[in-house]
Amino acid sequence: MSFQFDLRLIGLTSLALTAFAANSLLARAGLISPHMGPIEFTLIRLISGAVMLMILLALRLETRCKAKAGSWWGATMLLLYALMFSFAYVSLDTGLGALCLFTAVQLTILGVAAYRKSLNLIEGFGAVLAFAGFVYLVWPQIGGSGGTAIFMMALSGIGWGGYTLLGRGAQAPLILTAQNFTRAALMALPLTGFILISPHISAQGVLYAVMSGAVTSGCGYAIWYAALPRLSRPIAGVCQLLVPPLAAFMGWAVLGEVLTPRLLVATLIILGGLMITTLKPAHRSS
């Protein structure tokens, strides 16, 4: 029985991480397709995600009344994340974008912890090491056209980091996410004008946006939240470190993107630093 449970947990965790990495792949693939702009992609993604999450919640009516209500602040952070994510992926390769996003998310959370003076010396060292790896990664892009896209992805990471902090401690995170997705989609509705004035939106681009919202976002969160209660915080943190390398591999395998030595070295430095901050609490508590 124990073996079967562990096997199921491994399967759920693997599916969730694959979905998160595929989110970057779908965004990059959709935004390099003709006649699919970042605003249109974001709107379709948010609406698709909200619809899918509401469908999933309809299968769990007994938990609806226990949910903590979403917030407009949470929806704002979610919209910032999704919109800047799309604008950044117009220019960034899949792996580079995923690593920038993940680093910005983690540094945002660690920065808040440092501000609250709840970050110890070793965790601070891990954060500095991760930041140094990030600077090494983006330094050649600063001042060029890629610098703007990296800045946008950093804003996206700050948005998701803020959203994560606002949702911490939620008893029903999937329901909270569904409510915030719905609010964010409502906030984005004025952007429909961009769709109406677009001369063409490719069916391929729409398909990528719908899959990004409904499958890799909506279903991905549902799978992750199903696995998360059975994962310790350090294990969950280490598992999430696999997302950027997995996204980079997908970009190489599907889109033919180049895995540069700088990207590989920066990945090792950044993820090494973040692993220090992730595993330290477990060591301290033991």
Quick: pLDDT tens for 165-223: 888 777 788 888 999 999 999 998 887 776 666 666 788 889 999 999 999 999 999 99
Query: Is the pLDDT higher at 236 or at 252?
Result: 252
Confidence of residue 144 (pLDDT cuts 50, 70, 90): low
Question: Residues with Cβ < 8 Å from 193, sequence gap 6 or more?
Answer: none
pLDDT given at position 87? 94
- Are 268 and 114 within 8 A, CB to CB? no
pLDDT given at position 198? 64
What percentage of the chain reaches a pLDDT higher than 90?
44
3-class SS at 259?
coil
pLDDT given at position 169? 72
Number of domains within the chain: 1
Query: Is the pLDDT higher at 82 or at 125?
Result: 82
What percentage of the chain reaches a pLDDT higher than 70?
88
Q: Among residues 18, 29, 74, which one has the least CA distance to residue 256? A: 29
Task: Look up the domain containing 40 and give its range.
Answer: 2-285
Q: Among residues 19, 22, 25, 37, which one has the least CA distance to residue 205? A: 37
| pLDDT tens digits for range 39-73 | 889 999 999 999 999 999 888 754 554 555 678 99
